[in-house]
Amino acid sequence: MLAFCALLWLPGVTKADDPTAEQQYMLELINRFRADPQDELANLVNFSSPGVWDTAKSNDPSIAYALNYFGTSASDLAAQFSSLVAAPPLAWNSALNVSAVSYSNLMVSADQQSHTLDGLSLDQRIQNGGYGANWLQLGENLFAAGQSPLHTHAAFVIDWGDGNGSAAGYGNGIQSPAGHRDLLLNSGMKEIGIGFQSVSIPGTNTTATGPYVVTEHLASQFRYDGTNYISDAILTGSVYQDTIVHDAFYEPGEGLAGQHINVYNDATGILVASGFSNSAGGFNITLTGLTDGVVYRVEAPDTGLAAKTFTLTEHTDDYGVPVFVYDNVYESFAMVPEPGSLLLCLASGLSLLWHRSRRSFC
């Protein structure tokens, strides 16, 4: 089991593939965490009473092993999570995934975990992947020894670490600060690429051992309309059949590709945005020009599911100039099987962190 460490930096399109089913699953896990951090902890670990470990600390053996190895304190973990605040969802960005996959491959070939393997700054690395220069915030999480997507997600969310924890006689088994967790909850981040390595891992590797060598690149961006700087909302979510694991949650293999997603002004019935679910069943539709104070309706007509409605939340953030930021929106359409009938449609390691925020505009 590899230890965690963190780095935080706060100074002032390439065509890419859709996410794989496992990458979409990790995105769904992250958005579940951002929507309700306290509930996500309950999904990952087991307490016999508040802040007290149950006999099995997690239903996932790899997560339980890490908690035992680092001597993670149940009471400290519960106390930290009690004060966490929810954040808007993240949307998939394929350009960020280009840079994330590239860096995971570099870690494998170098058998190292560091933010400086390519000699580039984080903004250079992400722009080389095709993200562009109009970024507001950037962040990076790395994990070289993920055992599964869920184990990797838990590693960042729990942020276990502090050397060998109780085995070494010190620490509470949680990173201080919990920078990886904080990055995943950063409300200023709006997009993510989750890069798994696409090269073989040599059997001689001692650091980047996988089987999942994961880089997460998070960012947000803006546009200039001639008068204002604007960061548009993105409608994100998934269309899936809840047939592999009947848990009312997206699982790899359940996504439905090519499903129409239409967004209407609910009062006028005018179509204002549209798109399709990708090959993994996820969708990410930029809501350019949409504003707060308006009720919008989302439909997935191919599924026959009921429409959903949302309103946008806008806030002005200071990046040297005011930027009008519209928070992302999450909607999901799940087709759930009923017993005894056909499907019926119902609406329904070593880790590192790098974060950079734009403080001024050129």
Residue-level pLDDT at 163: 55
Q: For the packed helices 37-44 and 21-35, what is the interaxial angle rounded to 10 degrees?
A: 130
What pLDDT, on the 0 to 100 scale, is given for residue 349? 44
Q: Which two tokens stand for residue 273?
A: 């945005």
First and final C-alpha spacing in the chain: 44
- The token duo for 165 is 């924890």
- Amino acid letter, residue 156: F
Rounded to whole angstroms, what are the CA distances from 295 to 271, 298, 309, 329, 362?
13, 10, 7, 13, 36
Question: Is 211:195 a contact under the CB 8 Å cutoff?
Answer: no
Under DSSP, the state recorded for 253 is T
Helix or strand run (H / E) with residue 213: strand 212-221
Write out the chain's pLDDT in tens, 362 residues. Answer: 333 333 333 222 333 579 999 999 999 999 999 999 999 999 999 999 999 999 999 999 999 999 999 999 999 999 999 999 999 999 999 999 999 999 999 999 999 988 899 999 999 999 999 999 999 999 999 999 999 999 999 999 999 987 554 554 568 999 989 999 999 999 999 999 999 999 999 999 999 999 999 999 999 999 999 999 999 999 999 999 999 999 999 999 999 999 999 999 999 999 999 999 999 999 999 999 999 999 999 999 999 999 999 999 999 999 999 999 999 999 999 998 765 443 333 333 445 677 777 655 54
Q: Reduce the secondary structure of 121-158 to three states and give it as a string.
A: CHHHHHHHCCCCCCEEEEEEEEEEEECCHHHHHHHHHH
Question: What's the pLDDT score for residue 339?
Answer: 57
Starting at the edge strand found earlier in the chain, the sheet holding 91-92 runs 91-92, 191-196, 212-221, 135-146, 351-357
Residue 359: the pLDDT is 54
Q: Name the CA dihedral angle for 17, 22, 24, 26, rounded to a multiple of 10 degrees.
A: -130
pLDDT at 170: 63
- Tokens representing residue 18 in the block: 């859709």
Report the distance separating Cα 168 and Cα 101, nearest Å. 34
